[in-house]
């Protein structure tokens, strides 16, 4: 079993700092837009913030409810109240700091012990709490941070206003995506049995694969939005519908209730607008090939439309530079993708298990697998 190390604790602290900074930057950027009279962009930024917070609070509360399984009825009341005021993530960070500190600093390294020994139970608790947080941060990344990055880049190209707060928002967005991707990968390896934790190089390869492919796609959508907002909305709705239909075809069972399951599938459809992941913990070579082939075709199509449809846009946003960055980031992202899957991707897949085969993992004598065991993002 892998250990919750001091470096993991440091990354946890860094994640908390980035999370709080991200909240502050959101309200700061929105206030700047309000001050400049750009009310639509201010409201849109806050809507992304509110949507991601609402969704993560709902999932977080239901996970508490499922984990405790009626064993803490009194505590569930105040847990609900905390989540009602959108502070549930801070409760999870508190548990992560508590268990993480015990696992990283107060456990003596005394050779190999069984998973039912107290030191390993604390290690398991620390890893489980952290992986739950990282799952929520993945939701937040693609419900808030990535769409906000798209908005900032679009506003920068559309109005050609170069303000400090816009660059700050873009930098914070990239930092948020980076921390989410790296933390996710660390937790993924820790939750897979018989797998060693990735070293620095594989983590960087995975990070660049995600960032570059997402960046290319955001630039492409920004360009088509400049040409026609209606066309951009149609493309995004069509792609979301394909992603949602794919989750229906996969018969996902992430949640215990039908309502929560459809909410989850809706969120998956939004995430699939920006990146691919395997929602069933199975090998998906064909699916991922189709996914990025489709993104490549759509990206090339957008660039060709921008080149031949409206020449005025070329002068306004320096299409040559933007299209060059789009192509370069896409090609490099696909190269990093191939390298990652060739050499670094965990090959241990969960057999005959659904995405959310949840049990009460904090009770009983045996140590069951956690939620993240089957969250095999590609």
> d(Cα 166, Cα 143) in Å, to the nearest integer?
19
What pLDDT score does 82 carry? 93
What pLDDT score does 363 carry? 35
Burial 290-305 (b: 16+ CB within 10 A, else e): ebbeebbebbeebbeb
CA 296 to chain centre: 21
pLDDT band (50, 70, 90) for residue 154: confident
What pLDDT score does 53 carry? 95
**43-53 pLDDT tens trace:** 999 999 999 99
Of 175-184, 224-233, 276-285, 354-363, which range is least confident? 354-363
Count CB atoms within 10 A of the CB of residue 24: 10
What pLDDT score does 47 carry? 95
Question: Does position 301 have pLDDT exceeding 70, yes or no?
Answer: yes
What pLDDT score does 114 carry? 44
pTM: 0.83
Nearest CA among 132, 127, 36, 48 for reference residue 88: 132
Separation in Å, CA 235 to CA 156, 225, 298, 302: 21, 10, 9, 11
Within 106-163, residue ranges assigned H as helices are 118-140, 146-159
> d(Cα 146, Cα 140) in Å, to the nearest integer?
9
> d(Cα 254, Cα 106) in Å, to the nearest integer?
35
Nearest CA among 301, 285, 365, 295 for reference residue 330: 295
Give percent above pLDDT 70 in the chain. Answer: 79
What pLDDT score does 236 carry? 92
Give percent above pLDDT 90 in the chain. Answer: 31
> d(Cα 164, Cα 157) in Å, to the nearest integer?
15
What pLDDT score does 279 carry? 72
Position with higher pLDDT, 336 vs 178 = 336
What's the mean pLDDT when you consider all of the chain?
A: 80
């Amino acid at each position: 079993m892998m250990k919750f190390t001091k470096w993991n604790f440091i990354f946890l602290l860094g994640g908390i700092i980035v999370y709080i900074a991200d909240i502050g930057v959101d309200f700061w950027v929105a206030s700047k837009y309000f001050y400049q009279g750009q009310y639509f962009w201010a409201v849109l930024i806050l809507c992304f913030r509110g949507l991601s917070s609402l969704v993560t609070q709902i999932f977080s509360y239901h996970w508490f409810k499922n984990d405790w399984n009626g064993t803490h009825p009194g505590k569930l009341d105040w847990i609900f109240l905390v989540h009602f005021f959108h502070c549930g993530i801070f409760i999870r960070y508190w548990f992560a700091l508590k268990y993480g500190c015990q696992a990283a600093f107060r456990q003596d390294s005394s050779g190999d012990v069984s998973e039912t020994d107290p030191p390993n139970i604390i290690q398991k608790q620390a890893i489980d709490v952290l992986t739950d947080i990282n799952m929520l941060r993945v939701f937040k990344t693609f419900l808030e941070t990535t769409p906000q990055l798209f908005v900032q880049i679009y506003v920068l190209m559309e109005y050609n206003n170069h303000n400090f707060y816009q660059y700050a928002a873009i930098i914070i967005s990239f930092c948020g995506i980076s921390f989410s991707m790296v933390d996710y990968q660390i937790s993924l390896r820790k939750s897979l049995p018989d797998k060693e934790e990735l070293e620095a190089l594989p983590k960087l390869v995975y990070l660049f694969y995600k960032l570059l492919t997402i960046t290319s796609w955001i630039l492409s959508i920004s360009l088509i939005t400049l040409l026609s907002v209606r066309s951009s909305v149609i493309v995004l709705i069509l792609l979301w519908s394909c992603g949602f239909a794919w989750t229906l075809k996969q018969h996902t069972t992430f949640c215990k209730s039908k309502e929560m399951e459809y909410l989850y599938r809706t969120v998956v459809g939004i995430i699939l607008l920006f990146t691919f992941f395997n929602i069933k913990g199975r090998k998906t070579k064909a699916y991922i090939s189709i996914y990025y082939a489709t993104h490549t075709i759509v990206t090339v199509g957008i660039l060709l439309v921008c080149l031949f449809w409206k020449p005025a846009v070329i002068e306004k946003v320096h299409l040559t530079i933007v299209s060059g960055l789009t192509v370069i980031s896409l090609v490099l992202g696909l190269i990093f993708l191939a390298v990652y899957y060739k050499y670094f991707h965990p090959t241990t897949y969960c057999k005959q298990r659904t995405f959310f085969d949840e049990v009460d993992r904090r009770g009983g004598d045996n140590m069951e697998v956690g939620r993240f065991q089957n969250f095999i993002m590609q």
